[in-house]
Amino acid sequence: MGVTVDRLNKLHDRLCQVLEMYIDGRFIDPKTGEPMPPPPAILETTRKFLHDNGIEGVAIPGTPLGSLSSSLPLDDPEKPVLLPPPDLLGDE
């Protein structure tokens, strides 16, 4: 039996739901009872999922994407770029 379009659509929808649950902090740490932040792999998977589905954002001032964009040193060549300490980069 082959995979049907309906099954693929359901899988696509379920992946979207699970990613949304992670991003919204709906997974609870069983040890602390606190919401768990999404792991880096989930953030990357979400980014790729949005990209692959043609979802793009515009950095409008006052929105989360606008805030992120304005915090990046891309517009101001004088704005310093802060790097993590060398021990986090693996340099000794």
Cβ(59)–Cβ(66) under 8 Å?
yes
pLDDT of residue 32: 92
Q: Residue 46: what pLDDT?
A: 93
Q: Which residue has the tokens 């995979």?
A: 3
Q: What is the pLDDT of residue 10?
A: 95
Residues paired with 28 in a beta bridge: 35
- Token pair of 20 as six digits: 């949304």
Question: What is the distance between the alpha carbons of residues 35 and 58, in angstroms, rounded to a whole number?
Answer: 29
pLDDT at 92: 46
Distance from C-alpha of 24 to C-alpha of 2, rounded to nearest angstrom = 34
Per-residue pLDDT tens listing for the chain (92 residues): 688 999 999 999 999 999 999 888 888 889 999 888 888 999 999 999 999 999 988 888 899 888 888 777 665 666 666 666 666 655 44
Would you tell me the crossing angle of helices 5-23 and 40-52 to the nearest 10 degrees? 140
